[in-house]
């Protein structure tokens, strides 16, 4: 029996080939565009999250209590080296870095600006977040009073490679202290905070300058994706301020939410288009075949078989559209994942908002599974009204009309 229904559905699906083909193309194109948008949106956010984690906050960061409220050297972790060793032995921890931080004034001969001095261990930062990938200009080198500055800070102070700068701040004793530095590199992290104000120096140099010891740190940043790690660390260090990425970067959370809304709206629009497309083609197709359905009913075909046939017809159209869209979308996403979209023409505006000029897409299986479910649902929903018409069909009227 189901063989007959399948045959009827399959053959009727292609009764008006040009019309069905147009709907299939419409579904395929709109779906592939939606997949591309989803992939690009996600890629954009993923890229920003990734760079923020690598350049600053990690997946989890630990601070002394009060430090985030009052960025004073007093609120530093005084046994950071021990904690680091402890963390490195914990399951789920992939990398740990210590950072020494102090806010102050960065001056050239002509200009001054607020800046955040960050003492880092370059080798560890490379392992932690591939620091060298942020290099925009110069050479990553912090030896001999070397410094690396954020790109926006460099623009503000008109710094070049080799420029001399002086950073002034209060040390642990409360005295104003200054350090002369040579700009060796300019970095672009797309982390707005860092690009606008960071000046990186060697961590040992920063200890010497600020009067802290190698056991001290203002921030311990940790890489580790395990969900339980955060809770574990909170329990392990109750006297410290343990924060996960999204708590440290509420803007990122907001951006993720905005992207989810963008994707959902795009998804709904595309599914609306799919629904209207299939509804249109199925409605016309069913109305054209009222006589055929009337004959089937009069011959004794139960309504449930007709319903199954019509559902199958709409699924065939939806499924073919889906397959076309999935293939086209996958090809486009693979291309954009590899080569990205080059928006260098708008790089200034994009970078101001923390985006890169070349945006790479991401590919998730969920794009395809969710779309599959939605297209099948839209296909099934689109024939409810035509089916209601068939249910009300009086075969005698159809036969009478035939005479």
Nearer to another protein by C-beta: 144 or 400? 400
Nearer to another protein by C-beta: 293 or 368? 293
Q: How many CB atoms lie within 10 A of CB 9?
A: 18
For position 49 contacting another protein by CB under 8 A, the verdict is no
What is the DSSP code (8-state) at residue 345?
G
Nearer to another protein by C-beta: 12 or 61? 12
DSSP for 90-138, written as a single string: STT--EEEEEEEEEEEEE-SS-EEEEEEEEE-HHHHHHHH-GGGGEEEE
For position 402 contacting another protein by CB under 8 A, the verdict is yes
Nearer to another protein by C-beta: 278 or 297? 297
For position 292 contacting another protein by CB under 8 A, the verdict is yes
Q: How many CB atoms lie within 10 A of CB 352?
A: 11
384-391 and 250-288 helices cross at what angle (nearest 10)? 30
Binding segment for another protein among 10-18, 88-96, 110-118, 182-190 (CB under 8 A)?
Answer: 10-18
For position 109 contacting another protein by CB under 8 A, the verdict is no
CB of 351 to another protein, least distance (A): 60
Nearer to another protein by C-beta: 9 or 115? 9
Using CB under 8 A as the binding rule, the residues of this chain from 129 to 158 that contact another protein are none
For position 1 contacting another protein by CB under 8 A, the verdict is yes
Nearer to another protein by C-beta: 15 or 349? 15
- Spell out where 190-232 has E strands: 198-202, 219-223
The tally of CA atoms less than 13 A away on the side-chain side of residue 43 is 23
CB of 298 to another protein, least distance (A): 6
Strand partners, 97: 221
> Would residue 162 be called left, alpha or beta, if left means φ above 0 and alpha means ψ between -120 and 50 degrees?
left
Q: 105-132: string of b/e by CB count within 10 Å (b at 16+)?
A: ebbeeeeebebbbbbbbbebbeebbebe
DSSP3 helix / strand / coil % (the chain, rounded to 5): 60, 20, 25
* Pair type for strands 60-64 and 164-170: unpaired
Residue with tokens 């099934």: 380
For position 18 contacting another protein by CB under 8 A, the verdict is no
Binding segment for another protein among 196-204, 261-269, 289-297, 356-364 (CB under 8 A)?
Answer: 289-297
Q: How many residues in the shown chain lie near another protein by CB under 8 A?
A: 26
Using CB under 8 A as the binding rule, the residues of this chain from 294 to 333 that contact another protein are 295-303, 305
Nearer to another protein by C-beta: 299 or 345? 299
CB of 301 to another protein, least distance (A): 6
Q: How far apart are CA 394 and CA 398, in angstroms?
A: 7
For position 337 contacting another protein by CB under 8 A, the verdict is no
Which chain residues interact with another protein by CB under 8 A?
Answer: 1, 3-4, 7-8, 11-12, 15, 291-292, 295-303, 305, 395-396, 399-400, 402-403
């Amino acid at each position: 029996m189901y063989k007959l229904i399948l045959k009827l559905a399959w053959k009727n699906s292609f009764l008006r080939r040009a019309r069905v083909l147009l709907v299939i193309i419409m579904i395929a194109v709109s779906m592939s565009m939606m997949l591309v948008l989803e992939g690009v949106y996600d890629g954009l956010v993923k890229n920003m999250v990734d760079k923020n984690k690598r350049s600053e906050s990690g997946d989890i960061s630990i601070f002394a209590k009060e430090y985030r409220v009052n960025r004073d050297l007093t609120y530093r972790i005084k046994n950071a080296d021990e904690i680091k060793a402890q963390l490195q032995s914990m399951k789920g921890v992939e990398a740990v870095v210590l950072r020494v931080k102090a806010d102050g004034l960065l001056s050239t001969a002509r200009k001054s600006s607020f800046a955040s001095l960050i003492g880092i261990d370059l080798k560890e930062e490379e392992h932690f977040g591939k620091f060298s990938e942020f290099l925009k200009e110069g050479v990553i080198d912090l030896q001999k009073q070397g410094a690396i500055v954020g790109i926006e800070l460099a623009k503000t102070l008109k710094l070049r490679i080799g420029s001399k700068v002086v950073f002034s701040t209060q040390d642990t004793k409360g005295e104003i202290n200054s350090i002369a530095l040579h700009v060796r590199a300019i970095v672009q992290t797309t982390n707005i905070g860092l690009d606008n104000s960071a000046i990186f120096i060697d961590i040992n140099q920063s200890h010497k300058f600020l009067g802290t010891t190698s056991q001290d740190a203002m921030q311990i940043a940790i890489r580790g994706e395990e969900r339980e790690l955060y809770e574990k660390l909170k329990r392990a260090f109750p006297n410290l301020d343990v924060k996960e990425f999204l708590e440290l970067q509420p803007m990122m959370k907001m951006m993720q939410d905005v992207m989810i809304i963008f994707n959902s709206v795009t998804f709904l629009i595309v599914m609306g288009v799919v629904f209207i497309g299939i509804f249109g083609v199925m409605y016309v197709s069913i109305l054209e075949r009222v006589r055929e359905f009337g004959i089937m009913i009069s011959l004794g075909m139960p309504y449930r078989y007709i319903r199954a046939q019509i559902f199958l017809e709409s699924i065939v159209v939806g499924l073919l559209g889906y397959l076309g869209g999935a293939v086209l979308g996958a090809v486009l996403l693979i291309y954009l994942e590899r080569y990205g979209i080059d928006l260098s023409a708008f790089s200034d505006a994009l970078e101001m908002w923390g985006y890169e000029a070349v945006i790479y897409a991401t590919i998730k299986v969920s794009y395809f599974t969710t779309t599959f479910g939605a297209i099948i649902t839209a296909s099934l929903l689109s024939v409810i009204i035509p089916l209601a018409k068939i249910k009300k069909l009086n075969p005698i009227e159809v036969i009478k009309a035939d005479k």
